Amino acid sequence: MAADTTLADLARRMAAVVGPRNCFSSDADLLTYECDGLTHGRTRPALVVLPATTQEVAEVVRLARAAGRAIVPRGSGTGLSGGARPVPGSVVVGLTRMRKILEVNLEDGWVRVQPGVINLDVTRAVSGAGFYYAPDPSSQSICSIGGNVAENAGGAHCLKYGFTVNHVLGARLVLDDGKVMDLGGPALDAPGHDLLAVLVGSEGMLGIVTEVTLRLLRRPEATRTFFATFPSTDEAGEAVSRIIAAGILPAAIEMMDRLAIVAAKAATGLDWPDVGAALLMDADGPLAEVEHTSSRALDIARQAGALELRVPRSEAERQLMWKGRKSAFAAVGRISPNYLVEDGVIPRSEIAPVMREIEGMARDHGLRVANVFHAGDGNLHPLVLYDARESGQEHRAEHLGGEILRMCVRYGGSITGEHGVGAEKAAYMSEMFCEDDLETMQWVRAAFDPECRFNPGKVFPSSPLCGESRARGEPHPAEKAGLVERW
């Protein structure tokens, strides 16, 4: 068939750029790339290429464009919103071979890395000198910086330290025509529009990032952690509100409900009690300040109705407490054959009523929901438990997940705090944004990528098309290019 000849020809050209071992087109090789961390939606791409340099990325983009194919950038593939899910016929550009830390400048506090570098490896590279990279998504031991930039990754400590966007100083970007553009840099306030600000969090839809300059922070002098248990999420939510109201800015404050605690215990063997809710809080900073704020926070937790307060006696014990929290997602696998991870945001003062509402919604759906989340910034991660073997449960679970997102919007929050919109939540964008809002975002996209070549089908509900006013009747360039269909 002509189409296959074309594909074979493209594969040959791609292989000539990246080497035959780094260009896959066989079904077996493509299997891995059908989805990211969100495994229940799969699409096989036409090709996967793994370039090793900016020049190779640029050449790959030029070839894909000449062949009229969509390009799907991919990092470690740990995303939870289907942001790296291919579209039919697309070329997946995997950045996993671009794993070099290119330059470390501790004097000015930055590091320049390739996009495939693992988040935690940035910190590892500079921790000996007492520095670290602040954003710490739970997947930090496997997720890549390029993926973090695409999703504007957060983590437990972004309440105090901000998200990826607050820590990216510069980026090198390959555009749809293969041109290479440098945005930002180590010196602040470069004159001009802040394109870097919109690049971070653009979910791979503006181009392919091939280098990133990240801000490094000096390690805080001291960290104090405590674990507190409560009869229910009401008291725990109240404790969070009072701690914040006292002017304390915790480095992290995480909440788990009864089901999440049960799961974490099952997975880690921690001797946590059976309670309705637990908080894990970090305070960090200069010693005297941390001593002060952590002891005040402990008092407040006690007054808010804490059953038990535990302060780790050693760093090892502290790490174990955090391990319990960070492994909570996976731990849920111990108590349920299947689960969906949701990601929504509510105003943090509404935690208690929202928890009750989720409980009611779960009951109505005949399902259980475990909650483990970033309470300080109201970023919920409801885990909807279900059994795919039971007919109808998966469908009910998805429905419940959607209802929870709608509830977040109703409370004035967001459909995603850190996982991104991706393919999964594109349909929910209209709950938060009107057509004019989305059209404006599409215009921004079109300034970078007029043919919507990069990562089509993500973030935006299926119409209107990229960058065009809705009223126009003529075919969109992306339609002409065969990348998308209007119906």
- The footprint of another protein on residues 71-130 (CB under 8 A) is 105, 107-109, 130
Closer by beta carbon to another protein, 19 or else 109: 109
Structure tokens at 42: 């799969």
Site for another protein in 385-424 (CB under 8 A): 412-421
Q: How far is the CB of 89 from another protein (least distance, A)?
A: 25
Q: Is 212 in the site for another protein (CB under 8 A)?
A: no
332 within 8 A of 367, measured Cβ to Cβ: no
Q: How far is the CB of 281 from another protein (least distance, A)?
A: 16
Q: Is 448 in the site for another protein (CB under 8 A)?
A: yes
**CA 395 and chain centroid, separation:** 24
- Say which amino acid occupies 343: D
Site for another protein in 133-172 (CB under 8 A): 151-152, 154, 158-159, 162-163, 165-166
Q: Is 375 in the site for another protein (CB under 8 A)?
A: no
Tell me whether strands 91-94 and 71-74 are parallel, antiparallel or unpaired.
Answer: parallel
Neighbours of 119 (CB within 10 A): 28
Q: Is 341 in the site for another protein (CB under 8 A)?
A: no
Q: How far is the CB of 343 from another protein (least distance, A)?
A: 9
Closer by beta carbon to another protein, 126 or else 262: 126
Q: Is 303 in the site for another protein (CB under 8 A)?
A: no
373 within 8 A of 279, measured Cβ to Cβ: no
Candidates 433, 461, 479, 481; binder of another protein (CB under 8 A) is: 433
| H, E, C per residue of 173-238 | EECCCCCEEEEECCCCCCCCCCHHHHHCCCCCCCCEEEEEEEECEECCCEEEEEEEEECCHHHHHH
Closer by beta carbon to another protein, 289 or else 394: 289
Q: What CA–CA distance (Å, rounded) separates 462 from 332?
A: 33
Helix and strand counts by DSSP (H, E) for the chain: 17, 20
137 within 8 A of 418, measured Cβ to Cβ: yes
Q: How far is the CB of 192 from another protein (least distance, A)?
A: 4
Interface region with another protein, contact rule CB under 8 A, candidates 261-269, 324-332, 346-354, 363-371: 346-354
Q: Is 322 in the site for another protein (CB under 8 A)?
A: no
Closer by beta carbon to another protein, 240 or else 263: 240
Q: What CA–CA distance (Å, rounded) separates 57 from 66?
A: 14
Site for another protein in 216-255 (CB under 8 A): 218-221, 241, 244-245, 247-249
Closer by beta carbon to another protein, 89 or else 184: 184
Site for another protein in 258-287 (CB under 8 A): 285-287
Q: Is 16 in the site for another protein (CB under 8 A)?
A: no
Question: In a 10 Å sphere around its CB, with 0-12 CB exposed, 13-18 middle and 19+ buried, how is residue 312 labelled?
Answer: middle
Q: What CA–CA distance (Å, rounded) separates 315 from 403?
A: 40
Number of residues that bind another protein (CB under 8 A): 91
Q: Is 470 in the site for another protein (CB under 8 A)?
A: no
Q: Is 193 in the site for another protein (CB under 8 A)?
A: yes
Q: What CA–CA distance (Å, rounded) separates 80 from 421?
A: 9
Q: How far is the CB of 439 from another protein (least distance, A)?
A: 7
Q: What CA–CA distance (Å, rounded) separates 144 from 189?
A: 26
Candidates 319, 437, 463, 480; binder of another protein (CB under 8 A) is: 437
Candidates 9, 29, 103, 194; binder of another protein (CB under 8 A) is: 194
